[in-house]
Amino acid sequence: MRLSLARLLPRWSQCWVQSLMPAVAAAMALAHGLQARADWPQFLGPTRDGVVPGPSPSPWPDSGPAVLWKTDVGHGFASPVVAAGRVLLHHRRGEEEILEALDARSGKSLWKSAQPTAYVDGFGFDDGPRGTPSVVPGSVFTFGAEGRLTCVTMDAGVVRWTRPLGREHGADKGFFGFACSPLVVSNLVVVQVGGRDGAGVVAVDAGTGRTAWTATSDEAGYASPVACTVGGKLRVVVLNRAGVRVLDPMNGRVLSSVPFRSRQHASVNAATPLAGPDGVFVTASYDTGAAWLGWRGDGELAEGWMQGDALSAHISTPVRKGGLLFGFHGRQEQGAELRCIRVADGSVAWASPRVGVGSVLVQGDRLLVLLESGELIMADASGTGWKVLARAQVLGSGVRASPAVAGGVLYARDKARLVAVRLAGRP
């Protein structure tokens, strides 16, 4: 059923955003080089979309994939990241949020960098950090549950600078705290803060921590910003509490604003947008559905399709393979189902209600699905149906963080442990 965005969603307010330098995409690719493609340096991987570089992995044997190491971890929903032979995890122990670096081969702790925290989850779920660190050569950036943005050195975890952005801008923690994973673009670090003083989105200088610009007065969502190139120009796409904002890197104008959220107050926009040269895909739960928005020109979004019952992702971000999208449809706590929908029109290619709920990555022609139950599944990434190729229990229950995959090894965490599992090749 084709629905109008204007009819389905509440009215929205116009907002203004400053943005980034147009040459960032090339600079970013140059800075990371081949290593970034082999690593998993940020939320959802090197291209920030859940796509694992490389050919399709082979199914593991019935005995399961080899477990290389496991280690105890503290509280939090932050995903692990992998760069330069190290696994980095942002987690909480006691009254501190800790960024910890571990050797990717052995799991041995190399250094820890701690920041004090007094965050309390109002619903009693978890009091640890939500946002996933971002790594660029020489530096690691974290954004904690209280809205503190910090930069530390990659070699030893020495704090270069830290900014309590949430407190500085009087931002409300919302239902579940600050959850944005920093987007590093050239010399800027971009995060959703949700400050009502025009600091809905904040960009700071990566080297000094000084504010480069602030923009919008929108409440923050739980999705993270992404960057893409459209017509040769860099664009930053943000899904906040009100909807989609496309930021112009040259002059700070909002090139496009599309309302996208549930009519319920007690709702969240949590799945990160999938943005590419052909359009932007957004999805949310709470009877919202999904939208595909094509590009008009080099930065304005055109209304493509809106399907209220196509793919309503609650927390985890879907993945795309060609003309297909794979993700979990429905509320986590109410029994979601895994779906495949078509990019062209939002129609459902297949749905499997018996999978469970969790997060999904894609590598070649394979889906890697990590369920909240701790079960890892490899399946065909096809539009013909759900076909399981291998499955294994790799963690305990309560898995909310998306895994990382680097060098043929999957790194994943549950409430208490971080584990490294060999999928293929050598770590």
The burial of 139, by beta-carbon neighbours within 10 Å (0-12 exposed, 13-18 middle, 19 or more buried), is given as middle
Distance CA 43, CA 80 (A): 8
Mean pLDDT of the chain: 87
Over residues 292-303, the mean pLDDT reads 91
Cβ distance 213 to 203 under 8 Å? yes
Identity at 311, one-letter amino acid code:
L
Tell whether domain 5-422 is in CATH 2.140.10.10: yes
Over residues 315-321, the mean pLDDT reads 95
- Summarised one tens digit per residue, pLDDT across range 51-63 is 999 999 999 999 9
Distance CA 421, CA 40 (A): 15
DSSP bridge pairs for 81: 88
Taking the complete model, does pTM exceed 0.75, yes or no?
A: yes
pLDDT category of residue 36 using cuts at 50, 70 and 90: very low
Better-scored residue on pLDDT, 378 or 23 = 378
Distance CA 41, CA 184 (A): 11
> Cα torsion at 91, 202, 17, 14 (round to 10°)?
70
Distance CA 253, CA 200 (A): 14
pLDDT category of residue 254 using cuts at 50, 70 and 90: confident
**Confidence (pLDDT) at 263:** 67
Q: What percent of the chain has pLDDT over 70?
A: 88
Q: Is the dihedral of CA 252, 254, 260, 262 positive or negative?
A: positive
**Confidence (pLDDT) at 267:** 67
Over residues 394-414, the mean pLDDT reads 96
Better-scored residue on pLDDT, 83 or 34 = 83
**Confidence (pLDDT) at 354:** 83
Cβ distance 139 to 151 under 8 Å? yes
340: tokens are: 């495949």
Distance CA 366, CA 225 (A): 26
Instruction: Kindly list the domain boundaries of the chain, sorted by start residue.
Output: 5-422
